[in-house]
């Protein structure tokens, strides 16, 4: 989704020039920071605005909507800790222009905090969300899901989304399996026997990774039905949940490197399918997992 007002309550929402992570030269704010910036209005009210750079086929890119909601909490003076989970329900279309987010902490415990959010335009609710923030503690840990062994990003060619998907131009995508189908093939494209896509991805231009960027990247996988059918069909996310496994330090360690993402569905039926995804850091750290419910026609 998208917004571009600015708040003094979060260090990343600023109109001042920022140092380019690659060249070290001061540059205008990164387009992603412009797209998710919010303005704290007091109480539980936060203002935002859609950004054409992150438009989707209909309305804004859902991943940037989710990132704007997360940023609204990050910039709230009552926020405790860092994000642990976020669920976004896309109840209706979001029109281009301003919107308002209501973000309310419904319970704060010693180490975790629960939030309810609503995004509205002209008094009509378009999006609802819940989030859990918390303080991470040092405990026993283990990783059962290993990062796939794949060629590096320098061995994969970048692929562009079709021109009419504006938000895709903001990501450097390098597919290893399950590339985006051609929206207008010269001949019929074969259907895929599975829905798996594996790819390297990062912001374009490069940007240091944070929770908001990780949120948007968790939704940067096109609908699995496109791959299975070998063609574009009407489809859209109804509900998206992101689980954050990484700490702030682990995200900072990624810098501007590519992340490895993998996505697949489990069942297509009755106009809906599920879609889950994993995002690993370049060092093999599992950073986030996401799950979503998607509707489709055809």
Rg over alpha carbons for the chain, rounded to the nearest Å, is 19
Beta-carbon contacts of residue 148 (< 8 Å; ≥ 6 apart): 198, 260, 262
What pLDDT score does 186 carry?
Answer: 78
The CATH architecture one would assign to domain 31-135+152-296 is Beta Barrel (2.40)
Residues 230 and 179: their CA atoms lie apart, in Å, by 10
Q: Are 279 and 296 in contact (CB under 8 A)?
A: no
What pLDDT score does 16 carry?
Answer: 43
Ranges of residues in the chain with a pLDDT under 50 are 1-17, 23
What pLDDT score does 19 carry?
Answer: 57
In the block, tokens 């063609």 appear at 231
What pLDDT score does 2 carry?
Answer: 29
For the chain, the structural domain boundaries read 31-135+152-296
Q: Are 55 and 290 in contact (CB under 8 A)?
A: no
- pLDDT per residue as tens digits for the range 121-158: 999 999 999 999 999 999 999 999 999 999 999 999 99
């Amino acid at each position: 989704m998208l917004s571009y007002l600015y708040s003094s309550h979060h260090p990343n929402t600023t109109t001042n020039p920022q140092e380019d992570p690659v060249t070290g030269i001061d540059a205008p704010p990164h387009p992603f920071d412009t797209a998710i910036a919010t303005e704290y209005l007091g109480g539980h009210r936060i203002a935002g605005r859609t950004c054409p750079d992150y438009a989707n086929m209909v309305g804004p890119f859902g991943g940037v909507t989710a990132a704007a909601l997360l940023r609204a909490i990050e910039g709230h003076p009552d926020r405790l800790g860092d994000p642990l989970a976020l669920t976004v329900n896309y109840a209706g279309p979001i029109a281009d222009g301003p919107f308002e987010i209501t973000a309310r902490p419904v319970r704060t415990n010693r180490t975790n905090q629960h939030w309810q959010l609503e995004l509205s335009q002209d008094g009509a609710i378009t999006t609802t969300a819940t989030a859990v923030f918390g303080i991470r503690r040092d405990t026993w840990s283990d990783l059962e899901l290993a990062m796939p062994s794949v060629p590096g990003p320098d061995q994969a060619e970048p692929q562009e989304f079709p021109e009419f998907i504006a938000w895709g131009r903001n990501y450097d995508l390098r597919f290893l399996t399950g590339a985006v189908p051609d929206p207008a093939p010269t001949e019929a494209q074969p259907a895929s026997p599975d829905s798996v896509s594996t790819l390297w991805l990062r912001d374009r231009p490069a940007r240091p990774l944070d929770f908001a960027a990780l949120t948007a990247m968790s939704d940067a996988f096109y609908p699995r039905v496109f791959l299975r059918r070998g063609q574009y069909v009407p489809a859209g996310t109804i509900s998206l949940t992101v689980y954050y496994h990484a700490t702030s330090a682990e995200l900072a360690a990624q810098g501007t490197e590519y992340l490895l993402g993998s996505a697949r569905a489990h069942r297509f039926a009755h106009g809906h399918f599920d879609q889950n995804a994993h995002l690993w850091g370049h060092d093999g750290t599992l950073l986030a997992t996401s799950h979503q419910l998607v509707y489709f026609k055809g």
